[in-house]
């Protein structure tokens, strides 16, 4: 059975936390490999199990083991409003970007680079479009509970151009291209991608009926008016 690497941000304050997480994952059927990184407070699991099952297992160790949330892209009056909430983060700023691909076959490792159709250096969301990636959305700020609530307004992004791509949040803050090293002009020294998701079209009322396959649990979509 195919396996996928999934990364979780897991608060860990001591070696005992590492041991608890490791004890939960050790010997679980469906887990090929895992890494518990205390310094980065993250757990990377290579597994054939669904995310919700891994999340439930991690939570039995007493740790909240998932990054999850909802992000909306809405075009209004020649602008795009990006708003949402993301839970499970370490308190503080985290980089937030649109990536070129919606391929989650290897988790956040396979979503490509920042969405950059104009081949520009990395920058911040308020920079001139000549001095930023189109996917550069700056930072979101997580509070002490691990929640980041945000609202970003961008005058360059078009929803139809980003459907099928992905968004991701990173472990560290984005320096907005102001750093002195090469990485600053590539990703803002924002570190690893710790949570990501595909940007999908949201259906209107009575459009794209959603069904769950009883045999597999897979979500099925019926495109209104589609023909085979």
What pLDDT, on the 0 to 100 scale, is given for residue 55? 73
The reported pLDDT for the residue numbered 66 is 65
| CA–CA dist 10, 79 (Å, integer) | 36
**Would you identify the CATH topology of the domain 68-198?**
Immunoglobulin-like (2.60.40)
Band (pLDDT 50/70/90 cuts) for residue 223 is very low
Tokens of 100: 């070129």
Q: Say yes or no to pLDDT of 216 above 70.
A: no
Query: How much is the average pLDDT of 47-63?
Result: 75
Share of the chain above pLDDT 90, in %: 48
Query: What are the DSSP E strand ranges found in the chain?
Result: 4-9, 31-37, 42-47, 68-76, 79-87, 92-99, 105-108, 136-142, 148-154, 166-170, 193-198, 209-212, 219-222
Q: Once rounded to an integer, what is the mean pLDDT over residues 166-183? A: 96
Domain 4-59, CATH among 3.40.50.2020, 3.90.1150.10, 3.40.50.2000, 3.30.70.100:
3.30.70.100
Lowest mean pLDDT among 38-47, 118-127, 165-174, 219-228: 219-228
pLDDT at 221 over 60: no
Task: Answer yes or no: is pLDDT of 26 > 70.
Answer: yes
Segment 132-172, tens digit of pLDDT? 999 999 999 998 878 899 999 999 999 999 999 999 999 99
* Tokens 């980089």, located at residue: 95
Give me the pLDDT at residue 132, please: 97
In angstroms, rounded to a whole number, what is the distance separating the alpha carbons of residues 23 and 34? 11
| Count of beta carbons in the 10 Å neighbourhood of residue 196 | 21
Q: What's the mean pLDDT in 93-101?
A: 97
pLDDT, mean over the chain: 84
Reduced 3-state DSSP string for 31-47 = EEEEEEECCCCEEEEEE
Closest by Cα among 205, 203, 204 to 219:
203
Classify residue 30 by burial, with Cβ atoms within 10 Å: 0-12, 13-18, 19+: middle
Res 32 pLDDT > 50? yes
Three-state DSSP class for residue 92: strand
Lowest-confidence range among 25-39, 65-79, 143-157? Answer: 65-79
> Which letter, b or e, does each residue of 137-174 get, where b requires 16 or more Cβ atoms within 10 Å of its Cβ?
bbbbebeeebebebebebeebebeebeebbbbbbbbbb
The predicted structure's pLDDT at residue 214: 54
The domain limits of the chain are 4-59, 68-198
Compute the average pLDDT of residues 9-17: 79
- Of 11-25, 63-77, 87-101, 104-118, the one with minimum mean pLDDT is 63-77
CB 82 within 8 A of CB 97: no
Percent of the chain with pLDDT over 70: 85
């Amino acid at each position: 059975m195919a396996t996928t690497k999934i990364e979780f941000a897991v608060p860990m304050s001591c070696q005992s936390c590492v041991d608890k997480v490791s004890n939960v994952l050790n010997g679980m059927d469906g887990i090929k490999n895992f890494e518990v990184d205390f310094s980065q407070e993250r757990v990377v699991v290579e597994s054939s199990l669904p995310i919700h099952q891994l999340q439930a297992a991690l939570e039995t160790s007493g740790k909240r083991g998932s990054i999850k949330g909802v992000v909306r892209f809405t075009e209004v009056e020649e602008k795009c409003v990006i708003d949402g909430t993301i839970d499970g983060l370490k308190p503080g700023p985290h980089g937030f970007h649109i990536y070129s691909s919606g391929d989650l076959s290897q988790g956040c490792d396979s979503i490509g680079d920042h969405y950059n159709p104009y081949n520009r250096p990395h920058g911040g969301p308020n920079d001139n479009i000549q001095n930023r990636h189109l996917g550069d959305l700056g930072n979101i700020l997580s509070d002490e509970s691990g929640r980041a609530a945000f609202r970003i307004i961008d005058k360059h992004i078009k929803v139809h151009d980003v459907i099928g791509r992905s968004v991701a949040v990173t472990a560290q803050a984005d320096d907005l291209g102001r750093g002195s090293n090469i990485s600053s002009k590539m990703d803002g020294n924002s570190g690893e991608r710790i949570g990501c998701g595909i940007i999908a079209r949201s259906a209107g009322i009575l459009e794209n009926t959603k069904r769950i396959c009883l045999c597999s649990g897979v979500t099925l979509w019926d495109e209104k008016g589609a023909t085979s």
